[in-house]
Structure 1
Amino acid sequence: MKNKQTNTPYIYTYVHHKNEHDLCRMEMRSFFGFDTQLNYLMSPIRVDPSRSPFIEDRLEVIYEAESISELKEMIKDMKINASTYKVYCFNRMDLGEIKKIPHSERRQVERELGLIIDGEPDLDNPEAVYGLVTLNNRWYFGKYTKSVSVWSEHVHKPNSYSTALNTRVARAIANIAVPSVNGIRAIDPCCGIGTVVVEALSMGIDIAGRDINPSVCVGARENIAYFNLEGTITNGPISEVSEHYDVCIIDLPYNLYTHITREEQFDIIKHARRIADKCIFVTIETIDDLVEEAGFRITDRCITKKHLFVRQILLCE
């Protein structure tokens, strides 16, 4: 799951809830190095769309043209490495200021291009899917990938509690922490019932979980096993972690129950600085001064809301 930079442009479309706007943009910045207020972006960086809870579609651009007729000329000699295929136009929603194309018009252009390709069309179970989209008076055609909402299955884990991060937020946080998986070791030393750990493991991230509460550790292990994932959850405080990691993810909302003091927060943050080069902090309180005093520099941030809770998400290095 390494995100590769290529000479091929990729087009991604986005959908998110209103209260996820900032989190979505922070994930964009982590994956691509920039964000946009539009609901699509173009980048040479290849990201599996199923990693993100916000990405809907990805188009790996093969041809770009000013008109459908020009595009037809380009694809008529295209050779495909599949026995069956279909063409899908994903202007089914407004993309920025570009209005969606009505259903009948989308089907018409799909048929026109599909009949030109040398192969066997199959609208139900094609071996290959080609995508088509128009943006800013240009047409783009290429290999299409639809996002699969893997995270939605993880909502139904056997152990949970009401103030835990929801799976969409947890998945985005894992992506912000580890945008490219290869060679990165991560730890969640206050993992609770393992919401972030489950999302990270499902994306192939090498992450260890840990919590000071032994019964919570049992619940986290059960959640991991329930989804047939393999991961380690150890019991103990962050102060006893001796290994060094590339990145650390720490969610601090448990102070709702334990009334954790500022001194205890600072102790956790100091140990995070000791065990990792980079850390994501999730907090319902402002901890900028503690983070900076521990030697971190806040390089990005956003807020996300869950009912009455407003969480701050800080990326620190």
Structure 2
Amino acid sequence: MYLFINRHAAYYQAYALQLKRAVGAQELTWGLMSCPQRLSPQELDPLIGVRLALEPICEADSPEALIEVTQRCALESEPFVIEYSRIQKRVGRWPSRRLMGQLALQIKGEISYDHPQVRFYLIESAERYYLTRLVHIPTWPKPSYAHRPHAYSAAISSELAALAINAVSQMGDRIIDPTCGSGTIIYEALQRGRSAKGYDHKWSWVTGARDNLEAFGFSSVQDKKRFVAHADARDLDDSADAIVANLPYGRVVAIDMSRLESILRQLKHCAQHFAFFSGQDLSKVLDQLEYTNIQSLDLSIQASHQRFLCFAKG
């Protein structure tokens, strides 16, 4: 199965690394990844950054070769349409309409632009052409975070929270967010079939996260207390399969490196897999604290608001 992914300038590497870790996908070319197994819609929908799930049919390094190999495939189809997407422009390329027209002649079936039952996708990269068949367009409904009762300027987006959760855990795993703030990570973990617990060292933020969960449907007192509690990450006494945290980095909470190190030192004993968001690259600190398998990504969109994501194992 091919996964055609969003080529967002700042987040592309995060999307790709998530897919490598979560489903074993490998990059074929920039923007297109190959997954070793066929994923169901239920498995595809929670993945972040996937635009299309595609069944590979054939590929070639030139239009002429693609037409020839498509002819050899002897494709038959219900009413179909061929759509086109260009990842990178080729030198000396054919016009896309001409190539799609030639490919359509190699497929036995009726062309239907208004009511196609099958959609073929022609993908053009700088190196190759790929002919594929659409399998699924992932969708993931989410609440309007703009309407949550409590929002903080340093909070991460639901998209980043979700991809970090996908990268370090599986359905049924337990997630801890030791610095839960507004509760975004907790909510996204629960939505993705994980059990989750959030902590914060300020009661006002604990109350705020509980109010946010209530706004998203977790309305009982038992729910709110079960999912969010008061604790200092430097003294956390809990365990889980993975920790996903948006660590304080000075935008809302005053923080220095010694305090951050004390948090990371304590958390190392609480889980096996980690995803840390921070305002600086934590690779060296994590290495000094004997974390392993460290991978760091720069997610900064603007110089005045730096953000990094570090994956690691304890």
TM-score, normalised with respect to structure 1: 0.74
Q: 2:215 aligns with which of 204, 226, 232?
A: 226
Note closer, same or farther for the CA distance 1:194–1:137 as it changes in structure 2 (3 Å cut). Answer: same
Note closer, same or farther for the CA distance 1:240–1:110 as it changes in structure 2 (3 Å cut). Answer: farther
Question: How large is the RMSD of aligned CA atoms in angstroms?
Answer: 3.6
By percentage of residues, which structure has more strand? 1
Partner of 1:164: 155
Partner of 1:304: 299
Partner of 2:31: 39
Partner of 2:269: 274
What is the rounded CA distance, in whole Å, between the counterparts of 2:105 and 2:200 in structure 1? 55
Q: Is the 8 A contact 1:39 1:96 kept in 2?
A: no
Kindly provide the CA deviation profile for residues 131-156 of structure 1, in whole angstroms up to 9, marking residues without a partner as x: 44356345333x52112253574454
Q: What is the correspondence of 1:108-257 to structure 2 with a 5 Å cutoff?
A: 115=109, 130-134=119-123, 136-141=128-133, 144-151=135-142, 153-178=144-169, 181-228=170-217, 232-239=227-234, 241-257=236-252
Note closer, same or farther for the CA distance 1:280–1:130 as it changes in structure 2 (3 Å cut). Answer: same
Which letter does structure 2 place at the counterpart of 1:195? T
What is the rounded CA distance, in whole Å, between the counterparts of 1:153 and 1:46 in structure 2? 31
Kindly provide the CA deviation profile for residues 26-64 of structure 1, in whole angstroms up to 9, marking residues without a partner as x: 324323354465111222144544323321000134x54
Q: Secondary structure at the match of 1:258?
A: coil
1:108 Cα shift? 9.8
Which letter does structure 2 place at the counterpart of 1:167? S
What is the rounded CA distance, in whole Å, between the counterparts of 1:245 and 1:266 in structure 2? 20
What is the rounded CA distance, in whole Å, between the counterparts of 1:19 and 1:263 in structure 2? 29
* 4+ residue runs over 6 A deviation: 98-101, 107-112
What is the rounded CA distance, in whole Å, between the counterparts of 1:288 and 1:50 in structure 2? 31
Q: Secondary structure at the match of 1:313?
A: strand
Partner of 2:288: 293
Q: Aligned residues, how many?
A: 289
What is the rounded CA distance, in whole Å, between the counterparts of 1:205 and 1:86 in structure 2? 41
Q: Is the 8 A contact 1:185 1:206 kept in 2?
A: yes
What is the rounded CA distance, in whole Å, between the counterparts of 1:30 and 1:301 in structure 2? 14
Matched, 1:58 2:58: no
Which letter does structure 2 place at the counterpart of 1:75? E
1:236 Cα shift? 1.5
